[in-house]
């Protein structure tokens, strides 16, 4: 993110740079807050009041955003929110509760990405040059791309991501894959983030979904 800003600094005014940064962080807050709220909401519906008691049953970004995670978003374009704590023992149905809580954030991000992709696509048909529209277009673009990135990345079956927790909900406690991931998942995650693997993942997988969504909205023109 910060390198991208340096590249654009010679082409944008100070006000446009501020609008760009505001659009980016607003989109990050929306994507991450919606993701974590979904976990809290589904856990509550499944019978666990832990998220509500900890103040996580809200869309207020201040309840979910991690300062360090947000800083990493600024520096490297990837970060995290504070995870929602749940007590699966309170779920009405243990396995179903774990599965739905795990997948809820991903589904929410996909839905948001789909909606914002449409809004961004149709905004391209307009061509005003004022600062507000500059902010709006980048805001819609970031809401689209960040939600897609969060959804697809969290689908990876690597501890502690949601994809792993979803698979774990159908496995026995001593499953070899689960045991391996709980032991080495954090190392695998670090390798993915500090190597070109993440860039390739973002470019091809996320880029492919962007093309798919834009193709869908293009059917209406």
Active site residues: 36
Residues whose CB is less than 8 angstroms from the CB of residue 185 and which lie 6 or more positions away in sequence, other chains included: 158, 159, 160, 164
**Token pair for 207:** 């880029």
Instruction: Answer for the pair 31, 43: CB distance below 8 angstroms, yes or no.
Output: no
Query: Whose CA is closest to 148, among 210, 82, 65, 200?
Result: 210
The phi, psi pair for 133, rounded to 5°, reads -70, -35
- Distance (Å, rounded) from C-alpha 211 to C-alpha 188? 29
End-to-end CA distance of the chain: 33
Hey, CA dihedral for 85, 90, 92, 96, is it positive or negative? Answer: positive
Are 210 and 144 in contact by the 8 Å Cβ rule? The answer is yes
73 in Cβ contact with 28 (< 8 Å): yes
């Amino acid at each position: 993110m910060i390198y991208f800003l340096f590249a654009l600094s010679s082409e944008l005014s100070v006000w446009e740079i501020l609008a760009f940064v505001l659009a980016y962080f607003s989109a990050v807050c929306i994507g991450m807050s919606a993701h974590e709220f979904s976990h809290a909401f589904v856990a509550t519906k499944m019978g666990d009041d832990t998220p509500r008691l900890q103040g996580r049953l809200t869309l207020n970004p201040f309840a979910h955003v991690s300062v360090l995670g947000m800083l990493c978003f600024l520096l490297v374009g990837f970060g995290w929110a504070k995870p929602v704590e749940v007590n699966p023992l309170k779920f009405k149905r243990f396995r179903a509760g774990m599965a739905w809580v795990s997948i809820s954030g991903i589904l929410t991000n996909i839905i948001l990405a789909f909606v914002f992709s449409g809004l961004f696509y149709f905004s391209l048909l307009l061509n005003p040059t004022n600062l507000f529209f500059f902010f709006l277009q980048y805001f819609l673009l970031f809401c689209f791309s960040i939600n897609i990135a969060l959804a697809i990345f969290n689908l990876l079956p690597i501890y502690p991501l949601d994809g792993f927790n979803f698979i774990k909900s159908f496995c026995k406690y001593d499953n070899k894959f689960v045991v391996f991931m709980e032991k080495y998942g954090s190392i695998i995650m670090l390798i993915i983030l500090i190597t070109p693997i993440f860039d390739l993942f973002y470019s091809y997988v996320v880029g492919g979904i962007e093309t798919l969504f834009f193709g869908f909205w293009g059917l209406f023109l």
